[in-house]
Structure 1
Amino acid sequence: MSDKKIFLRLAQRSDAWVMSAIHIAAIKALPTTFYTRKQLLAWRNYLNKPNSKYILHSMQAEIFFVALENYQITGFASFIVDELIRLYVHPGYQSKGIGRALVTHFCQQAADQGINKVITTASLYAEGFYCKLGFTAIKRAPQQLRTGIVVPVTKMSKTLTSA
């Protein structure tokens, strides 16, 4: 855990390129333990270089928050009401509490709206991370990526407690 403070803010359209770069870097850093190289390539939309198109399109429906350290975006998350859609942290900043801060922020946003249960679809890599944050697995299921490739994922939920 880092001693540095993690700052979160609402993402801006101008952040989309950096978020795309983080998305690609995070997936490139994954080993082929749970997914094939073909699945990992499809997961990053076959991109080797950032392209803000997918993020900008998603920003029309999803709420995005970014995490910053020394004014640099280190991770991001997006959600719609009670569902955490995306969570990515740059590999150089993982294990510093950034993912935890983004998930905690999402849960607080949901609780503030009177929502008592949230859901997410976790990669098999992230399942343990979410369990540590109080999520429970509902079921494993195949998910079709926008590229048409199917990957196994875990549907998860968390009951929020009232403060």
Structure 2
Amino acid sequence: MDCLIRIAMTTDALAISRIIIGTLRESNAQDYSSEIINQVEQSFSPEAILHLFTQRQMFVATVESHIVATASLDQDVVRSVFVDPAHQRKGIGRQLMNRIQSIAITEGRDLLRVPSSITAEGFYASLGFKKIRDEFHASERTIIMAKKLEL
């Protein structure tokens, strides 16, 4: 699918929040309880997104000028990769990850890590990420994965 990947702007915060929360409720709800989903949602309000702009490089993917996906790079950690459920399985997440990987290589990084949800583990594995370990935050399971980059 044709999409444009660009650096996110603070004016995108509301749209980014909506994409993340919508994806949590629809896609991630298959693997996590509503209690966990509600808890995670708190970290992605528009105000929380604005704060994240100060901590990481944020990107969005747009289709026909509408934001349909987002991802972030925090040094060598990929964070907050979410694709609107209506646009999943169309290569947009892969394009976002390719962009992030290119930036990490340009920055001289030789490894990328990602804290994956249960829902996204297969996606990251298809990109060459390997499981390192599980982490638990209360009853929320996160899979820590990593990929060596070719410099």
Fold conserved (TM > 0.5)? yes
Aligned to 1:94: 88
SS at 2:42 equivalent: coil
Q: For the aligned residues, what is the CA RMSD?
A: 1.6
Partner of 2:107: 113
Q: Distance in 1 between matches of 2:102 and 2:123?
A: 18
Which position in structure 2 is the counterpart of 1:152?
Answer: 141
The alignment's TM-score, normalised by the length of structure 2, stands at 0.94
Which residue is 2:34 aligned to?
37
**One-letter amino acid of the counterpart of residue 142, structure 2:** V
Supply the distance in 2 between the matched residues of 1:46 and 1:123 (Cα, whole angstroms).
Answer: 15
Q: CA deviation at 1:40?
A: 1.3
Paired residues in the alignment total: 151
Counting aligned pairs with the same residue, the percent is 28
Gaps of 5+ in 2: none
Alpha-carbon separation, structure 2, partners of 1:154 and 1:106: 19
2:147 aligned counterpart, secondary structure: strand
Structure with more of its chain in helix, by fraction: 2
Letter in 1 for 2:3: I
1:86-109 deviation digits (Å, cap 9, x = unpaired): 101111111111111111111110
In terms of mean alpha carbon deviation, does 28-37 or 151-160 score higher? 28-37
TM-score scaled to structure 1, two decimals? 0.87
Structure 1 residue runs of 5 or longer lacking an equivalent are 144-148
Measured in 2, the distance between the counterparts of 1:83 and 1:46 equals: 17
Q: 1:119, CA displacement in angstroms?
A: 0.3
- Alignment check: 8 A CA contact 2:27 2:85 kept: no
Assess, with a 3 A threshold, how the Cα gap between structure 1 residues 46 and 134 changes in structure 2: closer, same or farther.
Answer: closer
Q: Structure 2 matches for 1:53-92, cutoff 5 A?
A: 53-92=47-86
1:10 matched residue in structure 2: 7
Q: What residue number does 1:146 align with?
A: none
The DSSP-based 3-state class of the residue aligned with 1:56 is: helix
